Structure 1
Amino acid sequence: MKPRHLGISIVIISIVIIGMLFYFNSILNQQNLKSCSEICGTQEGTSCSIESCPFNIEHNNSEGFIFIIGLLVAFLGGIGFYLTLTKAEKLIEQKEYDLTKLNNEEKEIFLFIKENKDKGVYQSNIVEKFNMPKSKVSRILDKLERLEIVERKRRGMTNIILLK
């Protein structure tokens, strides 16, 4: 599952759980209020307050529990939100090249271009490195371009050679 989809799912589930906690807390408050009013109604002649009601004391304990669960769910929701905003890492696939159709000189030039692909290789650098005439290097690069192994881009008065 993609991190973005997982994050959205976690956020939605967190929102639903927090909504359920609020609903549960409001029902608990209503029940406690009803129970306290029933107890106060049966105790005639004594002063009855919400603080002296035994159900109110139990309610305070359950509020702490609900608060802790709410914090944990909110924390998980934050993690889900973070996952929603993060971008998936792009995997760079290593392209496999078919070198069976190349002779030794063409393979050497290809390997030189592949080794220096981060910097880019100028056509003039290939001429100097392999001590070949410009025309021969140009023909070799034409063949590599036809086989869709390399690509030439014009840079000023020279070409930069890139792997496809």
Structure 2
Amino acid sequence: MEKKQSLFLIALSLVLLVSLAVLYSNEQIKDAALCYAYSTNPNLDPLTCPAHTTNSPWFFMTAFAASFLLLAIGVYSFLQKESTEPSFDSSLLEGEELIVWNALVELKGSAFQSDLINKTSYSKVKLSRILDRLENKGAVERKRRGMANLVIAK
């Protein structure tokens, strides 16, 4: 899960928790008023007080538990470290491909093709052909970004 999604989940669960707390306190105030009215009126049976016959406490307990679960998932996914190491087995590469692969790994797994040209000192054509071979082997992926190519290690 991305960091933005994790932060959204945390914010959503916090909003839910605050809303539920406000609703629960309002429900408690209403229940206290009902209990007081039933206990002070001799014509009403206190055993039939609506504050004690509803299932709203179970609703609130379930809603609080779900909100805390959402909060825990959001915090866990936010704190979880994303793996920046490429998962491709570099032992299948040799020579120029390995040099380009290592340069890409040094650049944290993604770089513009022009940065790789500067790092490896290969010509544009030579690097492009090496990247074609790496792409065919499933080691890298090239994405067009305006006038440049972004090379991403898989």
- Percent identity, aligned pairs only? 16
In the alignment, the residues of structure 2 paired with residue 40 and residue 7 of structure 1 have an alpha-carbon distance, to the nearest angstrom, of 48
Is this contact kept in 2: 1:4–1:84, CA < 8 A?
yes
Task: Report the aligned-residue RMSD.
Answer: 3.6
Q: Which has the higher contact order (CA 8 A, sep 6+)?
A: 1
Tell me the TM-score normalised to structure 2 length: 0.52
1:38 aligns to 2:37 (yes or no)? yes
Q: 1:112 to 1:27 in 2, by over 3 A?
A: closer
Cα separation, 2, equivalents of 1:65 and 1:31: 16
Q: How does 1:12-161 map to 2 (within 5 A)?
A: 12-43=11-42, 52=47, 54-59=49-54, 61-90=55-84, 112-114=94-96, 117=99, 148-149=121-122
TM-score (norm 1): 0.49
Structure 1 unaligned segments of length 5 or more: list them.
Answer: 93-110, 121-144, 151-164
Q: Which has the larger radius of gyration?
A: 1
Question: Offset at 1:76?
Answer: 1.2
Q: Residues 98-130 of structure 1: CA distance to partner in whole angstroms, max 9, x if unpaired?
A: xxxxxxxxxxxxx95135559x9xxxxxxxxxx
Q: In 1, Cα distance between the equivalents of 2:27 and 2:16?
A: 16
Q: Give the 3 Å change call, closer, same or farther, for CA 116–11 of structure 1 in structure 2.
A: closer
Alpha-carbon distance in structure 1 between the residues aligned to 2:38 and 2:82: 59
How many residue pairs are counted as aligned between the two chains?
102
Matched-pair contact (CA < 8 Å) for 1:8–1:84: yes
What residue identity is the alignment partner of 1:35? L
Residues 14 and 73 in structure 1, CA contact (< 8 A), matched pair in contact too: yes
Secondary structure of 2:95's counterpart equals helix
Q: 3-state SS of the aligned residue for 2:82?
A: coil
